């Protein structure tokens, strides 16, 4: 059965663009479009959607109020459609904390102005939301979205494979990759870490602009310092670097130090930033000095990169199915034999602090 989608946005142009794009996918059915939550609720009395694509700023009832009402009464997978503004990013973080499972950026023009890769992100967000187990973000049940084959580039387009020759050091690096459900999962992990935690690099699939607001929110909640990564930032104890949306992040060795490189490039495994790119770079720069962790998310980004990490002697962990919102990325890594151990989300902070490497 196709994924049933309801679009709620006060802009007629945005509704038209989203309906047209989603209607190109055989596994997605747009069952309606509403200009505000009041109209949406009337439509939902007749047919309940699997996924709601929701604007935040609307007349009569704002998106955050509607989202909280949904999560309290009838938890449903929600993808936030937000503007690329600082204010939009901050409000979107509130929506993610309230139970939304993903973010897409609001199209500003017609179909011709909406890039093909933005369409890929939109379809991926809807499919990921449809697969989300709402028991992990609220209550209720999600269902798996049908797989759709699309052209997919590998990490080869950004950097070559690891040579496998890495000098062991006393510095330990933790690399984390996650997607759908990851904002809440990362908050759960990072808020439990002390300021003495090892340096951490993170790829969370998220559009440009939103990663900065996400990092700032986490920084306000955590003992570790959390920031959106900038080119040449050092990876140091007590600091977490979040890959900026729309950019790849790579780990580089600079003498006895680790730094990150932030760069442009094509979508890898249909994402930018890509977990595969980060993990491959960690395999090259840190090897067995690293701990790799793959967490909740749709698709297989990170699976091949984690296998490369595993082959260097790095320790590799996958979040277990029971604690994932979407058991996709960890499952694919496990199937490849890239995961040393699957662990519950609640155990990840302890494992990070107990990691000694080598």
Select from 3.40.50.2300, 3.40.50.180, 3.40.190.10, 3.30.1280.10 the CATH code of 165-354. Answer: 3.40.50.180
pLDDT in tens, 57-83: 888 899 999 999 999 999 999 999 988
Over residues 324-351, the mean pLDDT reads 97
Q: What is the reported pLDDT for 111?
A: 57
What average pLDDT is seen over the chain?
A: 88
pLDDT of 358 higher than 80: no
Contacts for 346-352: CB closer than 8 Å, 24+ residues apart: 346/188, 348/189, 348/293, 348/295, 348/317, 348/319, 349/189, 349/192, 349/193, 351/291, 351/317, 352/174, 352/189, 352/193, 352/197, 352/198, 352/200, 352/291, 352/293
Q: What is the reported pLDDT for 164?
A: 60
Q: What is the reported pLDDT for 150?
A: 45
Residue with the larger pLDDT of the pair 167 and 142? 167
Q: What is the reported pLDDT for 203?
A: 98
Same fold, 3-136 and 165-354: yes
Q: What is the CATH number of domain 3-136?
A: 3.40.50.2300
Nearest to 138 by CA among 102, 104, 101: 101
Give me the residue spans of the domains in the chain: 3-136, 165-354
Residue with the larger pLDDT of the pair 85 and 267? 267
Let me know: does 295 contact 185? Beta carbons within 8 Å: yes
Q: Please tell me whether residue 340 adopts helix, strand or coil conformation.
A: coil
Residues assigned a catalytic role: 179, 205, 301
Q: What tokens were used for 252? A: 């580089």
Alpha-carbon dihedral sign for residues 349, 287, 159, 239: positive
pLDDT of 162 higher than 70: no
């Amino acid at each position: 059965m196709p994924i049933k989608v309801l679009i709620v946005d006060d802009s007629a142009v945005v509704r038209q663009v989203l309906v047209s794009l989603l209607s190109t996918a055989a596994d997605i059915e747009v069952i309606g479009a509403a200009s505000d939550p009041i109209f949406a609720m009337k439509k939902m009395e007749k047919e309940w959607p699997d996924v709601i694509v929701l604007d935040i700023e609307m007349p009569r009832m704002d998106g955050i109020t509607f989202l909280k009402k949904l999560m309290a009464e009838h938890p449903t997978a929600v993808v936030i459609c937000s503007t690329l503004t600082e204010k939009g990013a901050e409000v979107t973080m509130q929506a993610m904390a309230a139970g939304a499972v993903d973010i897409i950026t609001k199209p500003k023009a017609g179909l011709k102005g909406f890039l093909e890769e933005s369409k890929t992100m939109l379809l991926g967000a809807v499919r990921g939301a449809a697969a989300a187990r709402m028991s992990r973000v609220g209550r209720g049940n999600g269902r798996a979205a049908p797989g759709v084959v699309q052209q997919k580039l590998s990490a080869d387009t950004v950097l070559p494979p690891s040579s496998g020759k890495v000098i062991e050091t006393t510095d330990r690096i933790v690399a984390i990759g996650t997607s759908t459900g990851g904002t809440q999962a990362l908050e759960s992990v990072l808020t439990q870490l002390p300021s003495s935690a090892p340096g951490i690099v993170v790829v969370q699939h998220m559009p440009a602009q939103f990663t900065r607001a996400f990092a700032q929110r986490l920084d306000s909640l955590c003992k570790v310092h959390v920031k959106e990564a900038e080119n040449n930032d050092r990876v140091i104890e007590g600091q977490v670097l979040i890959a900026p949306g729309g950019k790849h992040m790579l780990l580089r060795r600079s003498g006895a130090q680790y730094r990150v490189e932030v760069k442009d490039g094509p979508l890898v495994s249909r994402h930018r930033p890509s977990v595969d790119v980060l993990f491959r770079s960690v395999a090259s720069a840190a090897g067995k000095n690293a701990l790799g962790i793959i967490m909740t998310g749709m698709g297989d980004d990170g699976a091949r990169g984690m296998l490369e990490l595993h082959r260097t002697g790095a320790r590799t962990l996958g979040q277990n199915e029971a604690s994932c919102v979407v058991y996709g990325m960890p499952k694919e890594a496990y199937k490849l034999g890239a995961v040393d151990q699957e662990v519950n989300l609640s155990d990840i902070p302890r494992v990070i602090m107990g990691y000694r490497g080598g």
